[in-house]
A and B are shown apart, each in its own frame.
Chain A
Amino acid sequence: MFVNQPNQQQLPINTYPKWKYVLIVIVLSLAFLYAAPNIFGKDPAVQLSGLRDAMITQQQLDEIESSWEANGVEPVSVKPSAIGEEGVKQIIARFKKDADQLKARELANDVLNPTLENQNYVTALNLAPATPEWLANLGGEPMKLGLDLRGGIHFLMQVDMEQALKRQQDQLRRDFIDTLTDQEPSIRGRVEPIENGMLLSFRNQEDAERAYEALFKEHTGRIDLQLSEKGGRPIIRGTLNQQKLQEIKDHAIDQNRVILSSRVNSLGVAEPLIQRQGADRIVVQLPGVQDSALAKQILGATASLEFRLVDHEADVVSAQNGRVPPGSKLFESEYGPIVVFDEVEVAGEHLTNATASYDPQTNEPIVSVRLDGEGGSKMTRTTTANVNNQLAMILKESRPIFDIKDGKRVLVGSELEERLISAPNINGPFGSRFQITGRFTEAETRDLARKLRSGALIAPTFIVEERTIGATLGEENIQKGVTSVIIGFALVLGFMLVYYKLFGLVANVALTLNLVMIVCVMSLMGATLTLPGIAGIVLTVGMAVDANVLIFERIREELRSGSRPAQAIDKGYGHAVSTIADANITTAIAAIILFAIGTGPVKGFAITLFIGILTSMFTAIFVSRGIVNLMYGGRTVKKLSI
C-alpha cells in the first residue's frame, strides 16, 4: 500500500537526506550557543556614568584603577559601555566578590565626586552578565529579567496631552491675530477657540477672502483652513492638521521621555527602562530601587527655564574668588565663567516651542524659539533696552543628593540646581519669535532645543500605575518559577517515557531541545522574562508534547491496522503533520492577538507562547523524526518500542 509520498525520490523509507541532518545540527548548535549565556550567571559590577554632559576621562579612570589597586580590589574587567560623541559616558567594571564591588564603588565615587556639592557622576551597583568575551562578541546575551523577578519599581506615566494641545491653541490664536494685523490694511475680525483650532469671523466677504489668502500663505502645511458662513457672517475655520497634531503629541512624549531619562540617570539605577507605551504613556522601570516615595519625588520634580540678563559690570575673576556682586550669580559653563543677574526677565512657562532648524539665508543650523503673547511682549521690552548684552538661559532642575551613612552611599533628598545652557548675544530687539545662532552643529541645535523645551514643560505627566516589587519577592518568584518549571517538566518527561518507551525518550529529547530553543530565541530577541512568561514556557512544554503525542498515537493506530513498523512510522508522521500545523497556527493566532492587544504580563505570556509554538514545530516534528530515522531508518524493523 503506497500512499502519497511525493518527495520520496530514491531514498529508502525513513531516511533523511544528509542536508537535513546538517540543518538540524547547525540550528541546534546555534540554539545551544545563544542559550549558553544564561548559564554563566552574573558578576557583581560597578557602573560609573557621567551625569548630563560629564565624560569619564582617561585620567580619572587611571586614578580610579590605581586607587582600587592600592586597596586590594581587583576588577575582572573594566570596559566602556557607552561612548558618546565627545568621549566615554559610562564604564562597567566587574568584580569577583560582592565585597569587592561595594568597596570599589566607594573608591570610585571618591575619585569622581570628590565633594558632596560637586557630584557630576553616578556610581551604581549592577550585575553584569558573566558571558565569556568571545560569546558576547558573537552577540550572546542572557535573557533580561522582568521587574517581578528582580524587584524594583514600575511606573506608568500619563502625559497630559490636553495641556500640550491647549498651549498650541493659544499659540495659534496669537499667530492668527499677528497675521491679520500684519496685513495692509490690517484685517479686523473675531477669534474664538474651537476644537484643535480657532474660528475667525469677519464683517464682510472681502475681509474673509483676504484673511484666507494671508493665512494660507503663512500657515500652510500646519493648519487646515476652511472658508464658510455662519449666521450670515463669513467665517474661517483654522484647525491644526493631523500631521501637526501628531507632531505635538510626539514632541510632548519625547520631551517627557528625555526629561525622565535624565532624572533616572541621576538616580544611578542600573538598567532602567524608559519606554513609550501607546499614544500618550511612558513606562518607567527602575530595577533594584525600593523607595518609591523618593523615586517619585525625583521623577516628578519639574524643571524650569529662565531667561535672565548677563551682568557685564561684574568682575568675573573676583567673582570666581568668591566676591559675586549681590543680586547676581556666577555660572560655570562651556563658554567659560559668566555672571548672571538673579532677576528673571522671562520665565520658561512662556516658551511654547523650541525647534532645531536652519537659517534660510545661510543654511546654518539654528534653534527657533517661540514664546506666547505675554512672554513675547516681556521679551520685546527686555531686548529693546539691552541690545548687545547677552541673554542667559538658565535651566533649573532638582537633582538627588547623596550622603555617606554607615559607610554606605544613600540618597537623602534632592536639591534645586541651576545650569546655564546658553548665553547668546542680543543682536537687536525681538519678541515672541527669535532664533539662536552661533556656529552650532546640527546635533548641538537639537540638544539645545530639547533642553529649552524640557524647561517649558509643554505637557505635564502624572502617574497612573505604580508597582513596587520587593527584592525578596522577586527572588521568591524566580525560585518558584524555576521550581515549577522543573517539576512540571520532570513529570511530563517521566510520563512520556513510561507511556511511549523508546519513542517517549525521543519526544523527551525533542522537548528538552525545545526548551533550549525557546531560551535561545528569547535571549536573541532581547525579550524580558517575567513570571507570566515562565508560565507561558511551562504551558508550551505541556502543549509541545501534544505534537509528539499526535504522531505516536497515529503510529500506534497504523500498527494496529496492520502496517509494518517502518510503514507505520512513515505514515504516522505524514498524517499527523497537517493536524499539528492547523492546531498550532490557530494557537499562534491567539498568541499574536494577545501580544498586539495586551500589555505587561499578558504580553510576556504571549511572547513565550508564540516562540514556543514555533520552536516546538521544529523540534517535535523535524528533530524527533530525524532521531527516529537514525534509529529505525534504512533497515528492516520487526518491532517498535512504542
Chain B
Amino acid sequence: MQILNKETNIDFLKLRKFAMVLSILLIVGSVTSFFTKGLNYGLDFTGGTLIEVGYEQDADIPKIHDQLEAIEINGAVVQNFGSAKIVQIRMPQQEHIENAKVGDEVLSALRSEGASVTKRDQSFVGPVIGEELKEKGGLAMIVALICIMIYVALRFEWKFAVGSVFALAHDVIIIVGFFSITAVEFDLTVLAALLAVIGYSLNDTIVVFDRIRENFLRMRKGSSEEVVNTSLNQTLSRTLMTSITTLLVLLALFFYGGQTIHSFAEALIVGVFIGTYSSIYVASPVALLLGVKKEDLMPPEVEKEGEEFDMP
C-alpha cells in the first residue's frame, strides 16, 4: 500500500505567501489571547489545593458549590473529572483554613447531608512552587531552543538554524495559544508535551533540511526554490507516514489513557499538526527568505552520509 503512488510534484512554495499570512494570523491570535485571556493554569502552577472525590450517584455540582460556600471556601472550581460520579474541586490557598485541614473540612462538608463520598486524590501545592515552575518551564523552553539552534547551525548552516528555531517558536506559541483560547487546563504534563512537540517538529524539520542539503549538492541546476520544492515532495510521504503513526498512538492515549494524561495527549495532537505544517511552511521558507543557496552548503562539508555509523 502506498499513500502517494507516484512521485509527487506539488508546488508547496506557491502557497508560502498565503501560509505566511496564516501563520502570522495564528501567532497574533495566540499572543493576543495569551495576554488578554491568559492560560487556565493547573494546580502545579497556581498553587492551592485540589481534591478529587467520588460519589455513588451522579454528583450534584451546584449543591457542592453551596456546601463549599457554607464553610467559606472561596474561589473553588468544581468540575466533573472523567465521569459524572467523580468530581474535582480546585481551590486557591484559603486564608482561614490551614492547608493541612482543607481536605478534611471539605470532605466533611460534602458528607454533611449523608452522601457517601470517597476521597480519591488530594494535592496541595505551595505558591512558591507554582511560581518556580513557571520560571523553570520558560527557562527550559529557551535553553532547549538555544541548544537546538547551536546544534543545527553546526550540522547545517546558520540560515537553517534560524529557520528551524522560527518554526519551533511558531509551534510553541500556537499551541500555547490553543490552550489559551480553548481554556483547557495547562498543567505540568502539558509543559512536557510542549517540549516533546519541540522534539517532534524539529525531527520533521531536520529530515526536510537534510534532503535540501543533499539536493543542493546533487541538483546542479535549479533555483533554491526548486531545490526546496523537490525536497519537500521527496520527503512528503515519509512526513505523512510518521504523522499518521504518531497520531495513532496519541489518539490511543487521548481516548484510553485516562484523565491525567488527557491534556498531554491533546497538546501533542495539536503539536503534530502544527509541527508538520511548520516544517513545510515555516522552516524552509524562512531559510529561503534568508537567502540560503548552494554555496552555503558546499564543502568543507566532507562528511558523507552514513559514514558515522559504519554501515556496510
Contacts and interface: CB of A to CB of B under 8 A. Distances in A.
Contact of A602 (B192, B203, B244, B305): B192
21 contacts: A7-B310, A15-B312, A158-B128, A464-B129, A466-B99, A468-B122, A480-B258, A481-B257, A485-B252, A498-B1, A538-B250, A539-B268, A543-B200, A549-B241, A579-B211, A583-B202, A590-B202, A594-B195, A597-B136, A599-B136, A602-B189
A531 B261 contact: yes
Interface stretch (A85-93, A254-262, A570-578): A570-578
A473 B122 CA distance: 11
Nearest to B202: A586
Interface stretch (A377-385, A439-447, A488-496): A488-496
A5 B312 contact: yes
Nearest to A487: B252
B306 A575 contact: yes
A492 B305 contact: no
Contact of A8 (B147, B210, B312): B312
Given A466-B123, A575-B306, A598 B140 contact: yes
B152 interface: yes
Interface of A: 4-9, 11, 15-17, 148, 156, 158, 292-293, 296, 463-470, 472-473, 476-477, 480-481, 483-485, 487-489, 491-492, 495-496, 498-499, 531-532, 534-535, 538-539, 541-543, 545-546, 549-550, 553, 556-557, 560, 573-575, 577-579, 581-587, 589-591, 593-594, 597-602, 605-606, 609, 621, 625
B238 A484 contact: no
B246 to A, nearest CB: 4
B228 interface: no
A599 B140 CA distance: 11
Most buried by A among B124, B151, B251, B312: B312
Most buried by B among A156, A473, A541, A600: A473
A465 B129 contact: yes
Interface string B98-120: 01110110000000000000111
A532 B306 contact: no
B121 A468 contact: yes
B151 A578 contact: no
A208 B234 CA distance: 80
A583 B207 contact: yes
Contacts, number: 261
Most buried by B among A11, A15, A550, A621: A550
Interface in B67-122: 99-101, 103-104, 118-122
B290 interface: no
A585 B189 CA distance: 23
Contacts of A477: 258, 260
Contacts of B125: 464-466
Given A464-B125, A587-B200, 9 more contacts: A463-B100, A473-B52, A488-B252, A495-B245, A535-B264, A542-B249, A583-B210, A590-B202, A597-B143
B305 A470 contact: no
Given A156-B129, A480-B256, A539-B196, A583 B203 contact: yes
Contact of B245 (A8, A549, A609): A549
A496 B242 CA distance: 11
A468 B119 contact: yes
A600 B124 CA distance: 15
A202 B303 CA distance: 71
A633 B199 CA distance: 35
Nearest to B209: A582
Contacts of A545: 242, 245-246
A625 B245 CA distance: 21
A579 B245 CA distance: 19
Contacts of A584: 203
Contacts of A601: 188-189, 192
- A-B complex: 10 closest residue pairs judged by Cβ atoms: A488-B252, A488-B249, A464-B126, A480-B258, A542-B246, A587-B199, A597-B140, A466-B124, A484-B257, A484-B256
B246 A587 contact: no
A499 B122 contact: no
A543 B202 CA distance: 12
A628 B199 CA distance: 29
Contact of B188 (A476, A585, A600): A600
Nearest to B247: A542
B202 A587 contact: yes
A538 B258 contact: no
A17 to B, nearest CB: 8
A427 to B, nearest CB: 47
B237 interface: yes
Given A4-B304, A464-B128, A484 B252 contact: yes
B295 interface: no
Interface in B138-161: 139-140, 143-144, 147-148, 151-152, 155
Contacts of B140: 593-594, 597-598
A539 B246 contact: yes
Contacts of A468: 103, 119, 121-123
A292 to B, nearest CB: 7
B126 A553 contact: no
Contacts of B126: 158, 463-465
A609 B264 CA distance: 14
The secondary structure that dominates the A interface is: helix
B256 A487 contact: yes
Contact of B199 (A6, A550, A609): A609
Contacts of A483: 256-257
Interface residues of B, number: 82
B248 interface: yes
Interface string B219-261: 0000000000000001101100110111111111101111011
A543 B100 CA distance: 43
A516 B155 CA distance: 32
Interface string B46-76: 0000001000000000000000000000000
A466 B122 contact: yes
A598 B253 contact: no
Nearest to B125: A465
Contact of B99 (A463, A574, A577): A463
B309 interface: yes
B288 interface: no
A589 B148 contact: yes
B191 interface: yes
B124 A472 contact: no
Contacts of A587: 199-200, 202-203
Contacts of A598: 136, 140, 191-192
A543 B242 CA distance: 7
A550 B203 CA distance: 11
Contacts of A8: 312
A150 to B, nearest CB: 13
Interface in B288-312: 303-312
Contacts of B147: 589, 593
B251 to A, nearest CB: 8
Nearest to B133: A599
A625 B310 CA distance: 13
Contacts of A586: 148, 151-152, 199, 202-203, 206
Nearest to A496: B245
Nearest to A581: B308
A189 B78 CA distance: 63
A621 B308 CA distance: 13
A418 B210 CA distance: 71
Nearest to A545: B245
A481 B258 contact: yes
Contacts of A495: 244-245, 248
Most buried by A among B152, B199, B206, B264: B199
Contact of A531 (B124, B245, B260): B260
A578 B210 contact: yes
B241 A532 contact: no
B198 A492 contact: no
Given A5-B312, A579-B210, A590-B195, A535 B306 contact: no
Nearest to A489: B249
